[in-house]
Amino acid sequence: MKEKVKKILIFVIVIAVIYFGYNLLFKKDTYRGIFYPNGCLTCDDYIVSPDLDSAEDCVMWGEGLRASRKNPNDTWECGKNCKWKNGLSICETTFGMEGTGEHYTK
């Protein structure tokens, strides 16, 4: 019986090491942009980017959309490793234009 418990415990430890090692070495950060037409942070007409590979891609997405709309009131923000929770985009870190950024940080 002790041998069986020992084997199960070793198996669980090996799986845990593989899982955490994979996440440490291979997990890639993703970035998400949220664009607020007319600068309205509480309106429902915001635009969400697809998942992006870098912070620079996210900034280019936000600035490109803002430039194409030519509305000086538009704002955007970007977040790193975001997940949707209760209708909010919760991110490890956020950055963006003045007036946006920290209100959805985990």
Residue 102 has pLDDT above 60, yes or no: no
Q: What is the pTM of this model?
A: 0.67
The domain locations on the chain are 31-96
pLDDT digits (tens, 9 = 90+) for 2-40: 888 888 888 888 887 877 777 667 778 999 999 999 988
Percent of the chain predicted with pLDDT > 90: 46
DSSP 1-33: -HHHHHHHHHHHHHHHHHHHHHHHHHPPP-EEE
